[in-house]
């Protein structure tokens, strides 16, 4: 029979690896809808990993992020109304207050605020940049809460976002400038 701690560790890392695959692939896509579908799947696995690990604030932020991604995916051709973003911000604030576990709780909160804004804004290149910036606080949170697979995922997500931006957005601008 497997020890509960070992089972929690294995399940947590497995959920993180699946989330990693979804996230890294999503940041290499050019179109918003498929990017958002993979981000939504990734968030579902992140929720599962945080819950298994007992990281409550992180799981709350991931749950809100999952809901946010579902809503923003439905509005992939136009910007989601600003009131939806405001409601998401209020929910994230309330959940952070309710699950407060000390200063560490601020990290997923800030990261979620940043990334929610760039998803709301809706331009794929800003989503990629917002992903990199918004995930920086998560790097520390995942490391400090022992979510090592999520730490690796988040680090690879930041790198993948930068590569995706350079491959699709920066190089496109460079090619357009040469044509002029």
The model's pLDDT over 118-156, given as tens digits with 9 standing for 90+, comes to 888 878 888 888 888 888 898 898 888 887 777 887 898
pLDDT band at 2 (very low <50, low <70, confident <90, very high): low
Exposure on the CB side of residue 143, measured as CA atoms within 13 A: 10
Question: Would you say 52 and 12 are in contact if contact means Cβ atoms under 8 Å apart?
Answer: yes
Segment 156-159 long-range contacts (CB within 8 Å, at least 24 positions apart):
156/20, 156/23, 156/24, 157/20, 157/23, 157/24, 157/27, 157/131, 157/132, 158/131, 158/132
Q: Which residues of 8-30 are buried (b: 16+ CB within 10 A; e: fewer)?
A: ebeebbebbebbbbbbbebbebe
Q: State the pTM of this model.
A: 0.75
Percent of the chain with pLDDT over 70: 92
What is the C-alpha to C-alpha distance for residues 95 and 89, in angstroms, rounded to an integer?
A: 10
Confidence of residue 89 (pLDDT cuts 50, 70, 90): very high
**pLDDT score, position 151:** 84
User: In the predicted model, is pLDDT for residue 109 greater than 70?
Assistant: yes
The first and second tokens of residue 41, run together, are 């799947």
Q: Is the dihedral of CA 148, 63, 121, 174 positive or negative?
A: positive
Contact 163, 31 (CB under 8 A): no
Name the nearest CA neighbour of 46 among 33, 28, 62: 62
Name residues whose C-beta falls within 8 Å of residue 136's C-beta, 6 or more positions apart in sequence: 111, 158
pLDDT per position as a tens digit, 30-74: 888 898 899 999 999 989 988 888 877 778 878 888 998 898 888
Question: Domain spans of the chain?
Answer: 4-179
Q: What mean pLDDT value characterizes the chain?
A: 85
Compute the distance between CA of residue 94 and CA of residue 63 in angstroms, rounded to an integer: 13
């Amino acid at each position: 029979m497997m020890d509960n701690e070992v089972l929690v560790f294995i399940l947590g890392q497995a959920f993180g690896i699946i989330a990693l695959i979804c996230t890294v692939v999503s940041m290499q896509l050019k179109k918003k809808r498929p990017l958002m579908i993979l981000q939504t799947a990734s968030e579902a696995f992140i929720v599962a990993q945080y819950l298994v690990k007992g990281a409550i604030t992180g799981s709350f932020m991931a749950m809100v992020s999952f809901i946010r991604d579902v809503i923003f995916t439905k509005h992939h051709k136009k910007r989601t109304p600003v009131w939806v973003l405001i409601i998401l911000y209020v929910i994230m604030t309330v959940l952070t207050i309710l699950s407060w576990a000390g200063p560490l709780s601020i990290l997923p909160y800030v990261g979620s605020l940043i990334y929610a804004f760039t998803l709301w804004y809706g331009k794929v290149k800003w989503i990629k940049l917002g992903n990199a910036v918004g995930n920086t606080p998560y790097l520390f949170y995942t490391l400090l809460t022992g979510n090592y697979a999520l730490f690796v995922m988040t680090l690879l997500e930041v790198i993948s976002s930068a590569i995706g931006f350079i491959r699709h957005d920066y190089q496109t601008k460079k090619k357009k400038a040469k044509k002029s």
